[in-house]
């Protein structure tokens, strides 16, 4: 059962990136972050901030077509976009378990598409679009 650890409102993409940097401070080797939110909610912006907070200096982009991108920071950083996947079998066929149970931090956009593959220990983050282009970012203690 999910319970909200904290929530914050972001007023801009830059602020969302900064919030991601702060979330990165909560993460460690083996952490999995399961992101949920509609198109344009800010999942990739938040992911960029998490990557920056983990010391990734390379430009982080959405891996919609490559599905999994790997970056080097103070820990290996895996960015997975499950939007084009048809479910957990597709996810497993990609070898995503190597990222989920490896020595780095994994962020999964569209995590609801692979809900059964998400570890119980994952941090779940739901991003909702509010009025005036603001975003509500709710961090919960368990996924899916």
Checking 67-70 for CB contacts under 8 A at 24+ apart, the result is 67/94, 68/94, 68/96, 68/99, 70/99
Quick one: pLDDT at residue 131?
Answer: 92
* Domain map (residue ranges) of the chain: 17-119
Q: Of the candidates 100, 132, 85, which has an alpha carbon nearest to the alpha carbon of residue 33?
A: 100
Order of strands across the sheet that contains 32-36: 4-10, 135-140, 123-129, 32-36, 105-109, 76-81, 68-72
The residues pairing with 77 across neighbouring beta strands, listed in sequence order, are 71, 105
CATH topology of domain 17-119: Rossmann fold (3.40.50)
Checking 23-28 for CB contacts under 8 A at 24+ apart, the result is 23/49, 23/50, 23/53, 23/123, 23/125, 23/139, 24/49, 24/50, 24/51, 24/52, 24/53, 24/54, 24/105, 25/53, 26/123, 27/53, 27/54, 27/105, 27/123, 28/75, 28/105
The predicted-structure confidence for 110-139, as pLDDT tens digits, reads as follows 999 999 999 989 999 999 999 999 999 999
Q: Name the token pair of 37.
A: 């939110």
Write down the pTM of the prediction.
0.91
pLDDT by 10s per residue, the chain, length 144? 467 789 999 999 999 999 999 999 999 999 999 999 999 999 999 999 999 999 999 999 887 667 889 999 999 999 999 998 888 899 888 888 888 888 999 999 999 999 999 998 999 999 999 999 999 999 997 644
């Amino acid at each position: 059962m999910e319970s909200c650890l904290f929530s914050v409102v972001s007023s801009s993409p830059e602020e969302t990136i900064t919030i991601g940097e702060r979330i990165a401070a909560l993460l460690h080797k083996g952490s999995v972050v399961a992101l949920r939110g509609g198109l344009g909610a800010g999942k990739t912006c938040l992911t960029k901030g998490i990557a920056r907070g983990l010391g990734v200096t390379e430009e982080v982009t959405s891996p919609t077509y490559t599905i999994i991108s790997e970056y080097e920071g103070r820990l290996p950083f895996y960015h997975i976009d499950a939007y084009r996947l048809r479910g957990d079998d597709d996810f497993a066929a990609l070898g995503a378990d190597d990222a989920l149970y490896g020595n780095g931090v994994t962020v999964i956009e569209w995590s609801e598409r692979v809900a059964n593959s998400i570890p119980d220990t994952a941090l779940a983050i739901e991003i909702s679009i509010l009025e005036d282009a603001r975003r509500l970012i709710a961090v919960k203690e368990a996924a899916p």
